[in-house]
């Protein structure tokens, strides 16, 4: 079969010309001829608020009260009680869930970090096999909730 009479030189030339024009139009449309976008590489300043961690205060020996009519609760040294300062410990650096109510079913309000210090405001409550104490951060009253005593250690008052 002879294809020469079916192929015209001008038809082939026209097809190549149209394909070239379409290629140029495609390159213009996809942005090959436009300048490349180069983002400015750099660092934006960030606002960072540093909250200093509580510092260790040396043990102070309280002076005995001589007034027998004055009734104040006395904390046993090393025992958790209302008014004592406690530190989160024994979590292997993972922190402690501070909950909205005593017990494992309470919602987690926030995570207390290992070695973070809190003031005991209420308790004890017993739930789910743990003794729970209501803790408040001395530097931020909004950081408050219930924590299991197994992960708390008494520290000296700051």
What are the structural domain ranges in the chain? 7-33, 85-155
pLDDT score at 63: 62
**CA torsion angle 126 128 130 134 (round to 10):** -60
Per DSSP (E only), the strands in 12-129 are 85-88, 96-99, 108-112, 117-127
Residues β-bridged to residue 127: 130
pLDDT (tens place) for every residue of the chain, 158 residues total: 676 767 788 888 999 999 999 999 988 887 766 666 666 656 666 677 777 777 766 666 666 665 555 544 555 666 888 889 999 998 888 889 999 999 999 899 999 999 899 999 998 999 999 999 999 999 888 899 999 999 999 998 77
Q: Which of 112, 116, 137, 133 is nearest to 124 (CA)?
A: 133
pLDDT computed for residue 16 by the predictor = 94
The model carries a pTM of 0.52
Q: For residue 67, give every residue at least 6 positions away whose Cβ sits within 8 Å of its Cβ, in sequence order, or none.
A: none
152-155 and 130-137: which strand pairing?
A: unpaired
- The verdict on domain 85-155 having CATH code 1.20.120.1200 is no
């Amino acid at each position: 079969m002879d294809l020469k009479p079916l192929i015209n030189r001008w038809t082939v030339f026209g097809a190549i010309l149209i394909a070239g024009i379409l290629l140029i139009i495609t390159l213009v449309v996809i942005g090959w001829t436009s300048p490349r976008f180069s983002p400015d590489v750099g660092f934006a300043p960030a606002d960072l608020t540093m909250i200093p961690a509580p510092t260790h205060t040396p043990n102070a020996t309280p002076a005995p009260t001589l007034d027998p009519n004055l009734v104040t609760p006395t904390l046993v040294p090393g025992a958790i009680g209302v008014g004592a300062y406690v530190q989160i410990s024994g979590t292997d650096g993972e922190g402690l869930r501070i909950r909205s109510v005593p017990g494992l079913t309470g919602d987690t309000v926030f995570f207390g970090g290992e070695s973070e210090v809190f003031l005991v405001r209420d308790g004890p409550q017993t739930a789910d096999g743990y003794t729970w104490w209501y803790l408040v951060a001395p530097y931020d009253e909004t950081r408050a909730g219930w924590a299991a005593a197994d992960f708390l250690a008494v520290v000296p008052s700051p």
